[in-house]
Amino acid sequence: MILFRANSTSSIYVRLLFSMVALCLLITFGSCSDDDAPAEITPNPDSEIYFTGSLDFTSDSGEAILSFTTNKDWSIDVSQSGGDVSWCTVFPNKGKAGESQVSVRVARNEGVDDRNVVLNLTAGDLTKSIVVTQKQKDAITLTTAKFEVDKNGGEIQVEVKANVSYEVVIPEQYQSWIHEGSGSGQIIMGDKGHNQMHEPATRTDMDRTVRKFYISKSEEYDKREGEIIFRSGELEEVLKVYQTGGGILLLTKNEYTVSDKGEQIVVELNSNFDFDVKMPQVDWITTTATRSVSSHTLYYTIAPNGTYGKREAEIIYYDRNDKSVADTLKIIQVQKDAIMLSQKEYSVGMEGGTIRIEIKANVAYETFIPEQYRGWIHKGTSTRGLSTSNLSFIIDKNNEYNKREGEIIFQNGKQKEVLKVCQAERAFLNLIKNEYTISDEGGRIAVELNSNFDFDVRMPQVDWITVTTTRSVSTHTLYYMIAPNEAYNKREAKIIYYNRNNEGLADTLNVV
């Protein structure tokens, strides 16, 4: 054993030497222990939700603070996999181990879709991701800002794109002529697959819907303008509706029949403008009063008619700015003691039937059918108005081969009106002989045919029969030349006689 003896100075030196060695060993072993420890990233309580969920921003610009603690140096970056990420920035983007804070800033979102990026926070070999999302800008978009509709109105359609729920508002002052149509709100598949129309305002996709509106017919003279508003909170889009106007001028009655004694007539006329009046150049119609307002009542005095002939005149009402907008009033004054028939002659087919006639008269009259016509003309039912009678007469079927005419008389003393009735004859067509056989030498044949109408002839498509002469009278004799037959076989052809208006009425000649 070797013993060292040292003085106090040496002892102090030795103790200091041992302390320095121990400190170096402690630092060395401690440093090796930190490098080997697993990396840790611990969110502070106020930022923990950002790591477990997401960091959300509204469409406005904004800033949020991420606070965390690491046991190693760290860095943070914005993932480039999502396209443009320039709208999101972080500062600082790296730091030392310990407690740190990072500012996350976003620019205002002017788009109509939401957007997101991923922040990757790395400490050693550990990475944690934080999702940053920003809401879209609320938007309502119309495919057109205006519609122009003619005065007849009709349906209009507008496609609405929106990423918010909205309401359709038609201001009260336009509700009398703008109405939302049936089937409005039909959904078109959304730009990103949505097919729901009214989702909450936090939605991210644009829906497309078709809104239909019905525009009423305009009765205004001037052009009119309306609005349809699509509104979501303070956000709104306005669809303008312009409708052309035009003059409306309508008489409630266009014709007046006045007795020979004369009278005052009241004319009702509706118009949406101040119209002008063109009076006829006659002295028997005078204006009593004229009012030029939206609903018009006009008065005219008709002087007595002292003649036995009726007289007529027209009054024209028109727009001085557009003479195509007009209406005409016709005034008819009958002659003294008149009986007026709506029609003076009727033509009836052979099958007969019922005829109806309107009679206007200012005197009492009798109706009778002369005896020679009573076998086939019979009186039917009748109705009578204040000054108009509606009579019907039954016409029997005509079984004769001649047409016939009859009369119906309406009479008051010397005043008489005659209705003429003409009925068509029964049509007939027949050949005296339906077949002719000719020798091979040919020759001419005479064909006799009876008919009470002008018939047509359909010749066969052969070259050995030719027409010599044709007459179209009540009794017909038709001549045909038959050429010699040079063949060893007989030949046949058919000639058809028919009514062009009724081909079922026909007869056929067979030539052998």
Say if residue 254's pLDDT is above 80: yes
Pair 49, 116 in one domain? yes
Name, in order, each residue with C-beta under 8 angstroms of 281's C-beta and a sequence gap of 6 or more: none
Write out the two tokens for 138.
């609320």
Confidence of residue 229 (pLDDT cuts 50, 70, 90): very high
CA distance 248 to 327: 10
Say if residue 135's pLDDT is above 60: yes
Instruction: Specify the higher pLDDT residue, 157 or 309.
Output: 157
Pair 386, 451 in one domain? no
Pair 347, 402 in one domain? yes
Of 269, 302, 333, the one marking the end of a domain is: 333
Confidence of residue 9 (pLDDT cuts 50, 70, 90): very low
pLDDT, tens digit, for every residue of 290-302?
A: 544 445 788 899 9
pLDDT, tens digit, for every residue of 393-406?
A: 888 888 777 789 89
Confidence of residue 10 (pLDDT cuts 50, 70, 90): very low
Q: What Cα–Cα distance (Å) separates residue 85 from each residue in 101, 106, 210?
A: 21, 10, 35
How many domains are there within the chain? 6
Confidence of residue 99 (pLDDT cuts 50, 70, 90): very high
Phi first, then psi, for residue 436 (nearest 5°) are -125, 130
Range of the domain at 256: 249-333
| Helix, strand or coil, per DSSP, at residue 50 | helix
Mean pLDDT, residues 120-148 taken together = 91
Instruction: Specify the higher pLDDT residue, 192 or 76.
Output: 76
Say if residue 137's pLDDT is above 80: yes
| Helix, strand or coil, per DSSP, at residue 240 | strand
Residues of the chain with pLDDT > 70: what percent?
84
pLDDT, tens digit, for every residue of 159-212?
A: 998 888 999 999 999 999 999 987 666 555 444 333 333 333 334 467 889 999
Written in H, E and C, the secondary structure of 90-107 is: EECCEECCEEEEEEEEEC
Residue type, 423: Q
Pair 126, 48 in one domain? yes
Q: What pLDDT, on a 0 to 100 scale, did the predictor assign at position 17?
A: 54
Say if residue 71's pLDDT is above 80: yes
Over the range 119-147, which residues count as b (16 or more CB within 10 Å of their CB) and which as e? bebbbbeeebebebebbbbbbbebeeeeb
> Which range among 113-117, 277-281, 307-311 shows the weakest confidence by mean pLDDT?
307-311
Q: What pLDDT, on a 0 to 100 scale, did the predictor assign at position 320?
A: 85
Pair 416, 433 in one domain? no
Q: What pLDDT, on a 0 to 100 scale, did the predictor assign at position 68?
A: 96
Pair 353, 410 in one domain? yes
pLDDT, tens digit, for every residue of 453-468?
A: 778 888 898 889 998 8
The helix (run of H) or strand (run of E) holding residue 83 is none
Say if residue 494's pLDDT is above 80: yes
Instruction: Specify the higher pLDDT residue, 463 or 426.
Output: 463
Residues of the chain with pLDDT > 90: what percent?
34
Of 403, 423, 443, the one marking the end of a domain is: 423
Mean pLDDT, residues 66-79 taken together = 94
CA distance 487 to 483: 12
Q: What CATH number corresponds to the domain at position 169?
A: 2.60.40.10
Q: What pLDDT, on a 0 to 100 scale, did the predictor assign at position 23?
A: 55
Q: What pLDDT, on a 0 to 100 scale, did the predictor assign at position 257?
A: 92
Pair 125, 148 in one domain? no
Write out the two tokens for 232.
């979501």
CA distance 419 to 410: 8
- Would you give the DSSP letter of residue 51? H
The long-range contacts involving 459-463, CB below 8 angstroms and separated by at least 24 positions, are 459/495, 460/493, 460/494, 460/495, 462/491, 462/493
Say if residue 12's pLDDT is above 80: no
Residue at token pair 């009540």: 474
Average pLDDT, the chain: 82
CA distance 7 to 122: 57
Pair 145, 98 in one domain? no
Q: What pLDDT, on a 0 to 100 scale, did the predictor assign at position 351?
A: 83
Mean pLDDT, residues 434-453 taken together = 86
Pair 435, 417 in one domain? no
Instruction: Specify the higher pLDDT residue, 22 or 407.
Output: 407
Residue at token pair 């056989």: 437
Pair 160, 98 in one domain? no
pLDDT, tens digit, for every residue of 330-344?
A: 999 888 777 778 788
Mean pLDDT, residues 109-124 taken together = 89
Q: Within 10 Å of residue 299's Cβ, how many Cβ atoms?
A: 14
CA distance 402 to 295: 59
Mean pLDDT, residues 383-401 taken together = 75
Q: Are 262 and 305 in contact (CB under 8 A)?
A: yes
Pair 236, 288 in one domain? no
The long-range contacts involving 107-114, CB below 8 angstroms and separated by at least 24 positions, are 107/61, 108/59, 108/60, 108/61, 109/59, 109/60, 109/134, 109/135, 109/136, 109/137, 110/137, 111/136, 111/137, 112/136, 112/137, 112/139, 112/141, 112/163, 112/206, 113/163, 113/204, 113/205, 113/206, 114/204
Nearest to 213 by CA among 232, 201, 227: 227
CA distance 476 to 507: 14
Name, in order, each residue with C-beta under 8 angstroms of 205's C-beta and a sequence gap of 6 or more: 113, 163, 190, 191, 192, 193, 194
Of 134, 160, 177, the one marking the end of a domain is: 134
| E-state strands within 124-260 | 126-134, 140-142, 146-149, 154-162, 167-169, 178-180, 186-188, 207-215, 224-232, 235-243, 249-251, 255-258
Strand partners, 502: 499
Pair 288, 355 in one domain? no
Q: What pLDDT, on a 0 to 100 scale, did the predictor assign at position 386?
A: 46
- Would you give the DSSP letter of residue 375? T
Name, in order, each residue with C-beta under 8 angstroms of 35's C-beta and a sequence gap of 6 or more: none
